[in-house]
Structure 1
Amino acid sequence: MTENTLRDKVAVVGGGEKNLGGLLSRTFAEAGAKVVVHYHSSESDAEQTVKAIQEAGGQAVAVQGDLTKVADVRRLFDTAVDTYGGADIAVNTTGMVLRKPILETTEEEYDRMFGINAKAAYFFIQEAGRRLNDHGKIISIGTSLLAAFTDGYSTYAGGKAPLEHFTRAAAKEFADRGISVNMVAPGPMDTPFFYGQETPERVEFHKSQAMGNQLTQIEDIVPIIRFLASEGWWFTGQTMFPNGGYTTR
């Protein structure tokens, strides 16, 4: 068993500039980790997150990159090694959602959705497996639609579905170095990521499918990821569904 703390650990957070990733970056830093904050296009959010961490006495650096490009994934981990001497935790919160009927989905949309939700996740896990220190932690963000289903999300849920097998395979392949690999699959989260795809009526429907008639709160997901990144060393190859009992008819 390794020491169950984040103090002086180095965490690489894909999509670590805002929403779930931003809160996670700040939480890791508060617990004593040094954080590599990845962002794609939201430079101002990344700068604000890094500034907030530094002003609170923590250490963080922002790295821009398109994680659908393997070279950018490698550069992200290069930054962790070059800046802080290594990496211990890798969390990929990135993803893209599209609600569109199958009959209306274009080839370009399909390729983009699977690039962001599947390809980027695969090579993030690959590079983390190469670069993390022994007893590291790899965590991916999936979707509760892997356990429940509704219309319109074929390319989103379909693009996230491979992460379950990526997670299981990596858990076996990296086990000899004590690296755990898990996926957290929340219900629809109360972030702009979700609202851009839904009507007010469907928002209320999704709320009705979970305990307490509410969407998933990022504040309820971060502690689970923190647990997996520190105390949760015995969990590996697992998909966790913290979704308030979310289901669909």
Structure 2
Amino acid sequence: MTHSTHPARVAIVTGGSRGIGRQSAERLAADGLAVVIAYASNDQEAQSAVAAIQTAGGLATAVKVDVSDEQAVAQLFSATEQTYGGVDVVVHAAGIMILKPLVEFSADDFDRMHRVNVRGTFLVNRQATRRMRPGGAIINFSSSVVELALPTYAPYAATKGAVDALSRVLAREMRGRDITVNAVAPGPTATDLFLDGKDAATIDRMAKMNPLERLGTPQDIAEVVSFLAGPGRWINGQVILVNGGAV
């Protein structure tokens, strides 16, 4: 296969089958990137995301991967290179959220969340640094809750604080590579992950935390991902709070 048959730029989006990840994948495809949607379990959702991108005229494939599995993450990058010729953008949106007061938290739940959110970020970023072409961007997902310090979020916020630290240091380790590393930290956003288990009063209260008095949408977050993946080259080593001014 000659080089000319490959798309100009290629993105891997973990957690790309739903919520903010899916919206980011669709936006990057609309920006002209070929997109590999990495997803954990739901084949139907992943194929639906691929179909939506293809219907809109974009290039996309899906790869099932456990981001906490070292071999699986390496295979994800190999499959992307085999299909599209390289990797230019990595959007790491895969993550899980378990909420309850720290005193009630089980060690198993704590470990499971760290395995996906922290180890997963480490493994995906490590492969990205090994494989990415110059001019690339690594975009990790943090959370505004690191700053907001909301009750029941302590272990989750701890995983995202780790993502912040990893992103900031990695940006400096990429010196000379022309690769940016940033973290996007959404506030309350209308996704299944956020809405699940919350009553209307809680959702309304959280929507009013910011001066714009609404929840974020996945599209709001995807705008920032698109910017960092493309024109926003001079933003590097930052944690960007994307929350309508909640903090």
The TM-score range, normalised by the shorter chain, is over 0.9
Tell me, yes or no, if the aligned pair for 1:163 and 1:183 is still in contact at 8 Å: yes
Cα distance, 1:201 vs structure 2: 2.3
Alpha-carbon separation, structure 2, partners of 1:219 and 1:30: 13
Alpha-carbon separation, structure 2, partners of 1:156 and 1:231: 31
Cα distance, 1:169 vs structure 2: 1.1
**Are 1:156 and 2:156 matched, yes or no?**
yes
Runs (4 or more) in structure 1 with deviation over 4 Å come to: none
- Residue identity matched to 2:104: E
Task: Describe the SS at the equivalent of 2:13.
Answer: strand
- Residue identity matched to 1:114: H
Alpha-carbon separation, structure 2, partners of 1:58 and 1:200: 37
Instruction: Point out the more displaced range, 68-77 or 180-189.
Output: 68-77
- Residue identity matched to 2:214: Q
Question: 1:170 is matched with which residue?
Answer: 170
Task: Note the 1:197-236 alignment, pairs <5 A.
Answer: 197-236=197-236
Instruction: Point out the more displaced range, 73-82 or 179-188.
Output: 73-82
- Residue identity matched to 2:43: E
Q: Percent identity over the alignment? A: 33
Query: What is the CA RMSD across the aligned residues, in angstroms?
Result: 1.2
Cα distance, 1:8 vs structure 2: 2.3
Task: Describe the SS at the equivalent of 2:148.
Answer: coil
Question: 1:116 is matched with which residue?
Answer: 116
Tell me, yes or no, if the aligned pair for 1:98 and 1:197 is still in contact at 8 Å: no
Alpha-carbon separation, structure 2, partners of 1:26 and 1:181: 21
Tell me, yes or no, if the aligned pair for 2:34 and 2:59 is still in contact at 8 Å: yes
How many residues are aligned here?
Answer: 241
- Residue identity matched to 1:25: A
Tell me, yes or no, if the aligned pair for 2:24 and 2:219 is still in contact at 8 Å: no
User: What's the TM-score, normalizing by structure 1?
Assistant: 0.93
Task: Note the 1:1-249 alignment, pairs <5 A.
Answer: 8-247=8-247
Cα distance, 1:22 vs structure 2: 1.1
Tell me, yes or no, if the aligned pair for 2:170 and 2:181 is still in contact at 8 Å: yes
Alpha-carbon separation, structure 2, partners of 1:150 and 1:144: 10
Task: Describe the SS at the equivalent of 2:152.
Answer: coil
Alignment deviations for residues 11-70 of structure 1 (CA, whole Å, 9 cap, x no partner): 000011121111111111122111101110121111011112223332111000110111
Cα distance, 1:73 vs structure 2: 1.1
Alpha-carbon separation, structure 2, partners of 1:38 and 1:32: 18
Which runs of 5 or more structure 1 residues have no equivalent in the other structure? Answer: 1-6
Cα distance, 1:224 vs structure 2: 0.8
- Residue identity matched to 1:175: R
- Residue identity matched to 1:24: S
Question: 2:3 is matched with which residue?
Answer: none
Alpha-carbon separation, structure 1, partners of 2:53 and 2:123: 27
Alpha-carbon separation, structure 2, partners of 1:177 and 1:57: 32
Task: Describe the SS at the equivalent of 1:241.
Answer: strand
Cα distance, 1:146 vs structure 2: 1.6
Task: Describe the SS at the equivalent of 1:41.
Answer: coil
- Residue identity matched to 2:147: A
